[in-house]
Structure 1
Amino acid sequence: MNFDLPDAITDYLQELDAFIEDAIRPLELQDDNQRFFDHRREWARTDFERGGLPRPEWEALLAEARRRADRAGHLRFPLPREYGGQDGSHLAMTAIREHLAARGLGLHNDLQNEHSIVANNPFVLLFRDFGTHAQQQAFIHGMLDEHLHLAFGLTEPDHGSDATHMETAAVPEARDGVDGWRIDGEKMWTTGMHLATHCVVFARTHGNAGDASGITAFIVPADAPGVVIEEYLWTFNMPTDHPRVSFTDVWVPDDAILGAAGDGLAVAQHVVHENRIRQAASSLGAAQYCINESVTYARRRKPFGQALAKNQAIQFPLVELATEAEMLRLLIRQTAWQMDTMPKLEIERRFSDRVAMCNYRANRLCCEAADRAMQVFGALGYSRHQPFEHIYRHHRRYRITEGSEEIQIRKVAGYLFGYTGPGKWRDADATVE
């Protein structure tokens, strides 16, 4: 067995490094753009007088970096070639996401707002696989060119991880002779709504609370009458673009349905495995950055006349973190490689537990590594003059979002004990003799 990354991937990582140094790093250094990454970063990025939203100049800088990456052929790397991508594999994307995060904070990769010179673009795949031809024509290239922006309205104030008890409802209603739907309800954490031209809103159209079926995805114009941004929720890591949004007597025509009526949860979960394995790789990369920086600092810092690195109290915790990082790297890459060998539905059936393992452990590792780096660096590590507090505050969110770690552990338990997955027992109450 060969556990080395293919040459095509390692060569591409070098190509990305060269692009960063040639096109992205100079942009980061000009016009005091370092304020977005040094100790001033939270202040520079956040418009505290405008609800805590990202400052326009911060978002403009990110957009320029993406334009440069797109012109160079990197931004759309994981997408199909028909959309300007390179059909990037799961394995390649995990290697790329880890590599970029391991470089530390910078304009090349700032996951606070899912920015990267190699983008994820999950909505493109949603429209490719669920959209009608008209929807694909109207939205896909608009999203890629960034003159259309979509938000995602799934989570509700009283229903976080459980979307099946959704209270947002849509009922059939014709207006001006056109068949359509009236939507009423409220959504939380509707990320990016301040820029969105549309929001994919999930609403129950039939069935009972708790049913997995009967929920439908609707493409709702963000400026439709009855759509109101009620507040922006300030978070552990600012700025915020996560509002609570109400939908009151909002009407859309029948052709606003994305996918099949009643199968909205399939739309919502369509790219969950791709997102989770890539997020795991990003958290692993950020954790590795914290470990590497801690080791370097411990060798350089010499209190009481000798390097910190000589103390076992410094060595042992970093050894534990480095060991888990190595084990996770193997698991993430093996899982990604296996995902590349099978169709999407087969991934859900056979490897959902492996993706969950990768994700929850990597997100937790990143928080532990950032916390340890703060401790090794001492008061300087606690300050904003080092990036560790930012890394901790940002990656702490991923232990909750994209499926909380408890939800993912439950997924693993379902596979382990045979309640779901390929080893599902016919009799869930059967006991082993």
Structure 2
Amino acid sequence: MDFEISASTQKFLDELDEFIESTIVPMQSEDDNDRFFDHRREDSRTDWDRDGLPNAEWEALLGKMRRAADDAGFYRHQLPERFGGKGGTNLEMAIVREHLARKGLGLHNDLQNESSIVGNLVTVLMMEKYGSDAQQEEWIPKMLAGEARIGFGLTEPLHGSDATWMETTAVRDGDEWIISGEKYWNTGLHHATHDYIFARTSGEPGDGRGITCFITPTDSPGFSVEEFMWTFNMPTDHAHVKLDEVRVGHDTILGEEGMGLQTAQLFVHENRIRQAASSLGAGLHCIDRAVEWANDRVTFGKRLSTNQAIQFPLAELYTEAEMLRALIHKTAWQLDEGYDHMEITDKVAMCNYRGNRFCCDAADRAMQTCGGEGYNRAMPFEHIYRHHRRYRITEGSEEIQIRKVAGKLFGFAGRAKG
């Protein structure tokens, strides 16, 4: 493995930087759109009178950004060429995600809702890998055009990371299935047209097999959003969904019947590695800002940065960032080289839980370094902390991630390899 960024990837980063300066920065500056990124950000993004959902003007701006990025040929980068992409690799996407997040808060890359000029199109990748030819032909163009928006309904009120114990069921009735149950933290349901609903179709609680993924229309009779949960980081679009004998056709099954967790693993693995890279970049942004502040700040007649109590914590975090990047790049490269997802699931888990924890630690330390100004909303630290704190729970809590590592290490899930 070559640790140097390839010439083609560096060229892509340079093109992204140029596009940000020529197109995205002016877009962010017009019509006071800076209110979505400065100290007014949460209030400007949130529709407080509509259950705390994202403000319509905020989502319209994000849509405008995505269309511009798509027109410029950046948005679909990771997708195969047949869907307008360039077949971006996992390694390249990790490098891009770190690069964009390290730039800080901006319209070019807003991780609160996974919005970026280079799209994180995981639900499209699920369809591309597991959808039938007919499903791909029907859904992928609609998904990319924004005509179909598909949520991800795995978690339940009583079951989060223990997905094999889910209580949502689907019963076969001729050419249809009848789905009953509930889903929690079902993101994007305020505008989703469909939902990937995971339900047990066979087997017993705790079995890995027997769970099936259904492409479920959100306007189906019996499909209802009970509430949107208010969270640490607003706005919110995380729904509590109830399914009361929702009928769907047999042709709505994504992938193989009873193998739904296989499709879910693609979603979480693709997300986990890129979340880790984004957390690395966001954490480094916090360190960069803290170092800049400490070098400029004069206290007791000398620069703040001359104090080892300021230097050492940031130096340790910077060292961790270097080690973390090496692990992220190696793991992403292994995925590109054809390693089975489950063979290196422990490495993906390491990247994710360490990356997300690193970002939270970096944001907290940067806030402490900058003192009262760090606590000020004019600085980005509180926003970065509140957003990335969620990642230590979602896509599998860090305890579940560590459990995966331990499973490999102690031989409960296959002996660990170096």
TM-score norm. by structure 1 comes to: 0.94
Answering whether residue 345 of structure 2 is matched by residue 352 of structure 1, we say yes
SS at match of 1:271: helix
- In structure 1, what is the equivalent of residue 387 of structure 2? 394
Following TM superposition, by how much is the alpha carbon of 1:161 offset from its aligned partner in structure 2, in angstroms?
A: 0.5
The alpha carbon displacement at 1:421 in A equals: 3.2
**1:405 aligned to which of 378, 398, 415:** 398
Moved segments of 4+, more than 4 Å: none
> Following the alignment from structure 1 to structure 2, what is the Cα–Cα distance between the partners of residues 148 and 93?
24
1:251-270 mapped onto 2 (5 Å cutoff): 251-270=247-266
The match for 1:15 is 15
Partner residue of 2:196 out of 200, 220, 224: 200
Q: Distance in 1 between matches of 2:113 and 2:244?
A: 28
Q: Can you list the C-alpha shifts for 1:35-54, whole angstroms capped at 9, x where unaligned? A: 00000000000001100000
CA contact 2:276–2:328 (8 Å) conserved in 1: yes
* C-alpha separation in 2, matches of 1:65 and 1:394: 21
Q: Look up the match of 1:431.
A: none
3-state secondary structure, aligned to 2:123 = helix
For the residues of structure 1 that align with 2:301 and 2:31, how far apart are their CA atoms? Answer: 41
| TM superposition shift of 1:3 | 2.1
**Matching of residues 115-194 of structure 1 within 5 Å:** 115-174=115-174, 179-194=175-190
Assess if the C-alpha contact under 8 Å between 2:331 and 2:348 holds in 1: yes
8 A Cα contact 2:152 2:195, kept in partner = yes
CA contact (8 A) 2:198 2:214 kept: yes
Q: Between the two proteins, what is the percent identity of the paired residues?
A: 60
List aligned pairs for 1:300-379, cutoff 5 A: 300-343=296-339, 346-349=340-343, 351-379=344-372
Instruction: For 2:270 and 2:366, locate their aligned partners in 1 and report how far apart those are by CA, in whole Å.
Output: 29
Give the CA RMSD over aligned residues. Answer: 1.2
For the pair 1:281 / 2:268, whether they are aligned, the reply is no
Which residue identity is paired with 2:351?
A: C
Q: State the one-letter code of the partner of 1:347.
A: H
CA distance in 2, matches of 1:286, 1:8: 24
Check the 8 A contact 2:409/2:415 in 1, yes or no.
Answer: no
Deviations 1:204-255 (A, max 9, x none): 1111111111111111111111111100001100000001010012111111
* Correspondences of 1:288-303 after superposition (within 5 Å): 288-303=284-299
- 1:189 Cα shift? 0.6
Match of 1:65 in 2: 65
- State how far apart, in whole Å, the 1-side matches of 2:176 and 2:336 are: 40
1-side partners of 2:154 and 2:268: how far apart? Answer: 13
Structure 1 residue 339: Cα displacement: 2.0
Cα shift readout 1:157-201 (whole Å, capped 9, x = no counterpart): 000101111111111224xxxx20111110001100011010111
CA distance in 1 between partners of 2:299 and 2:371 (Å): 12
Alignment of 1:236-247 (within 5 A): 236-247=232-243
Deviation readout 1:48-90 (Å, 9 max, x if unpaired): 1100000011000001000000000000001111111111011
**Aligned length, in residue pairs:** 417
Give 1:375 shift.
0.6
- Paired residue secondary structure (1:188): strand
Residue 77 (str. 1) matches residue 87 (str. 2): no
For 1:352, give the aligned amino acid. T
Q: Partner amino acid for 2:371?
A: G
| Alpha-carbon shift at residue 423 of structure 1 (Å) | 5.0
Distance 1:347 1:190 in 2: 24
- Taking the aligned partners of 1:332 and 1:132, their CA distance within structure 2 comes to 31
Among 245, 254, 262, the residue aligned to 1:249? 245
Given residue 88 of structure 1, which amino acid in structure 2 is its aligned partner? G
Q: Compute the displacement of 1:2 (Å).
A: 4.4
Change (3 A) 1:159 1:347: closer
1:257 offset after TM fit, Å? 1.3
Extract unaligned runs of 5+ from structure 2. Answer: none
Map Cα deviations across residues 365-397 of structure 1 (whole Å, 9 max, x no partner).
Answer: 000000011111111211211110000000000
